[in-house]
Chain A
Amino acid sequence: MKELLAEVLHNEQIAPGIFAISLKLPEDVRVGCGQFLNLSVGDGGHLLRRPFAIMGYDKGSRVAVCCYQVKGEGTHILSRAKAGDALSCVLPLGNGFSLREEDKRVALVGGGVGVFPLLSVLRAFHESDKHFRSYMGFRSGEYADMFERYDRRSDYYACATDDGSLGAKGNAVQLFFGDFESAKPDVILSCGPTPMLRALKAGLAERGVHVPCYVSLEERMGCGIGACLVCVCKKSGREENVRVCKDGPVFEIGEVEL
């Protein structure tokens, strides 16, 4: 966990309102898949940093790549950052995804900008013998490229769109359960909008599926390092909160209330 001043190398739109930013770090860090960074938008007037999944990190060049959606003023300002700009950030943050040796068949269920943490898994296990089946959902076809352009690793890939403009009309959870018998996953990793995660949780319960399932959550954050208790989530069945930034963002799906 380090506070660093990163240099912007590229910052370009890859889908409507979705940007990819490459950041050159002044020193090497150890980044695991599913971890994130907390990035300043760089204008001084926005006091909070924005937490983004680190989609990829190359140790040799010390370049981290994150993708983000322009949602409000802060991300709009970030989208105007140019090559050569310096942005401060803290990284690596959070627990990230981990796969056990015996997790050979991995199902990835993603929706919208939730595909990026899952892409970090595909990159991290690029040279492994694991079998990845990816089910991704988007608002419409024009967003699908934000997964497809980076995915070099899925052994099977299916996409769904809300409006049916590409792939099946529907969502990633439907795709996943439709393929469940052939997938026979050892583990399920997921990230996406909360309604999607809820549908996944409900679907697993209805079908009595006991395959371990890990979800990466999103929440508005303050410090990003676990001190301020802003980004909390309730533990299932317990009067206790967990911190999304420090205890997560990845949780076993049964561990937290969605």
Chain B
Amino acid sequence: MADLKVDLCGVRLKNPVIAASGTFGFGKEFDEIYDIGVLGGVSTKGLTLEPRLGNPTPRIAEGRGVILNAVGLQNPGVEAFLRDDLAFLKSKNIAVIANVAGKTLEDYARICERLDGKVDMIELNISCPNVKCGGMAFGIRPESVEEVTRAAKASLRRTPLMVKLSPNVESIAVNALAAERGGADAVSLINTLTGMAVDLERRRPLLANVTGGVSGAGIKPIALRMVWEVCRAVSVPVVGMGGIACAEDALEFILAGAAAVQVGTANFTDTLAMPKIVSGMNEWLDGHGIRDVNELRAALIV
């Protein structure tokens, strides 16, 4: 049994496998299928100040090796999360990462204030491509990445801040540096790539929102490249994601420099994807005589 424990800016994870925001709700449904206590952490559905209904349906479509979603941040709001969902997640003995989405700088600051000291980490969602106001708007220009990070950081005294970066930008490494300057304790990437799918026969887009976020196995090479670039640019820990579907995928991101990984779309393809990745990591490391997963981190030979 290899040692899978990792440290993410002071947050200790029993293994580097975290459920990606938006694919896992608040964990209750997946826990009906397996004990989610086997995971390193869960990043919650994006939380806003007030409840949000999200976009019209259809909210999902498929391409080859990828999916597209445009859920539009449907969530019950931060207060309902604190009241109804937090205790359950905490009871599972996993790192609880609250994903936070706002329309204004003030929103981000207020939500963070409500969550400070109550969760293990905040993940700032400044890269959701599916909502018109806010979210993504903060995630594009490095100046606004820095500004929103600073605003969130100012209302967090006890909880570390991770900033989730958009790949739909000129340079993700430049934005990662901006987040670091703004006070981010970690960065996570990549959020989905903006894309589109159409129904040729009906001459209509497949998503009601017309465009959506592309994720899944097909985007892995892009995500891996971006994670590698960001890991070389910043000194804060990096959480890598984008198309991870098996233990080998996850270990590749760690090899590129990620401290931990998130798994999203693979949860739809196989509800047991994450526990399989955890056990598969163990097997791979054992099979290669590696005792600690951290030995593999940033060990890519270029």
Q: Which residues in A have some Cβ–Cβ distance to B below 8 Å?
A: 1-3, 40, 45-49, 74, 88, 90, 219-234, 239-241, 246
Evaluate contact between A246 and B29: CB separation under 8 angstroms. yes
Asked whether A232 lies within 8 Å of B74 as measured between CB atoms, the reply is yes
Q: Does B220 contact A (CB under 8 A)?
A: no
Shortest distance from the beta carbon of B26 to any chain A beta carbon, whole Å: 8
Q: If A2-B33, A45-B65, A227-B24 touch, does A233 touch B268 (CB 8 Å cutoff)?
A: no
User: B234 within 8 Å of A by Cβ?
Assistant: no
A-B pairs with beta carbons under 8 Å apart, 26 shown = A45-B64, A47-B65, A47-B66, A48-B60, A48-B67, A48-B268, A49-B268, A88-B270, A222-B23, A222-B67, A223-B271, A225-B30, A225-B33, A226-B29, A228-B25, A228-B268, A229-B25, A229-B45, A229-B54, A230-B57, A230-B59, A230-B71, A232-B74, A240-B53, A241-B53, A246-B29
Q: Which residues of A contact B28 (CB under 8 A)?
A: 227
| A47-B269 in contact (CB<8A) | yes
A2 to B22, CA, bound (A): 21
Q: Which residues of A sit under 8 angstroms from B45, Cβ to Cβ?
A: 229
Report if B93 contacts A (CB, 8 A): no
Asked whether, in the complex, the Cβ of B25 is within 8 Å of the Cβ of A226, the reply is yes
Chain A residues near B298 (CB, 8 Å)? none
Residues of A within 8 A of B266 (CB): 47
Chain A CB within 8 A of B69 CB: yes
Given the known inter-chain contacts A40-B269, A47-B269, A223-B23, please indicate yes or no for A229 contacting B67, CB distance below 8 A.
Answer: no
Q: How far is the CA of A220 from the CA of B57 in the complex (A)?
A: 8
Question: What count of chain B residues pass the 8 Å CB interface test?
Answer: 38
Nearest CB of A to B23, in Å? 6
**Chain B binding site: helix, strand, loop or mixed by DSSP?**
loop
Shortest A49–chain B CB gap in Å is 7
Cβ of B43 under 8 Å from chain A: no
Residue of A nearest to B30 (CB): A227
Q: In the complex, what residue of chain A is closest to B32 when comparing beta carbons? A: A1
B24, B60, B65, B267: most-surrounded residue (chain A CB, <10 A)? B60
Contact with A along B55-92 (1 / 0, CB 8 A): 00111111011110101001100000000000000000
CB of B59 within 8 A of CB of A232, answer: yes
Check if A48 sits within 8 Å of B272, measured CB to CB. no
Cβ contacts under 8 Å, B71 to chain A = 228-230
B216 CB-CB contact with A under 8 Å: yes
Within 8 A of A (CB), among B1-50: 22-25, 27-30, 32-34, 45
A234–B74 Cα distance when bound, in Å, is 12
Chain B residues with CB under 8 Å of A49's CB are: 268-269
Known: A46-B62, A47-B65, A225-B30. A233 touches B25 (CB 8 A): no
Question: For residue A240, which residue of chain B has the nearest CB?
Answer: B53
B220 to chain A: closest CB distance in Å?
12
Which A residues are in CB contact (< 8 Å) with B34?
3
Closest residue of A by beta carbon distance from B19: A227
Cβ–Cβ contact A48 & B269, under 8 A = yes
Tell me which residues from 81 to 116 in chain B have a Cβ below 8 Å from any Cβ of chain A: none
With contacts A228-B71, A229-B71 taken as known, whether A221 is within 8 angstroms of B60 at the C-beta atoms is yes
